[in-house]
Amino acid sequence: AQSVTQPDIHITVSEGASLELRCNYSYGATPYLFWYVQSPGQGLQLLLKYFSGDTLVQGIKGFEAEFKRSQSSFNLRKPSVHWSDAAEYFCAVGAVESQGAQKLVFGQGTRLTINP
């Protein structure tokens, strides 16, 4: 079974600073990896996904993530954060099982606070 660890529960950065959110996964085969963002009181919005191919993937809102198989990591980055990026971020690993069932396992989430 797959698992995901987000080591940082809460991160605070200054507006304009760079950001890196960590994600480590455990899965026996090539995983499907996702980053979602959740604003307060809202559902989850997909930022980016990795299925195969280029290990550096670009997402919405200026985010990118790099898949590193040797480190079992899929860290999320942004070169310069904006106050509107304050939210909770979830990393997830997916596996497609019988009959096309997609089993998503989520990390615990990282809450991002932006200092003005």
Q: Which of 67, 109, 112, 114 binds another protein (CB under 8 A)?
A: 109
Give residues 9-48 in contact with another protein (rule: CB under 8 A): 9, 32, 34, 36, 41-46
> Which listed range, 12-20, 70-78, 79-87, 90-98, lies at the site for another protein (CB under 8 A)?
90-98
Q: What angle do CA 18, 74, 84 make, to 5 degrees?
A: 40
Closest among 44, 91, 84 to 62, alpha carbons compared: 84
Q: Is the distance from CB of 3 to CB of 105 less than 8 angstroms?
A: yes
Q: Map tokens 């307060």 to a residue.
A: 40
103 binds another protein (CB under 8 A): yes
> Which listed range, 11-19, 61-69, 77-85, 92-100, lies at the site for another protein (CB under 8 A)?
92-100
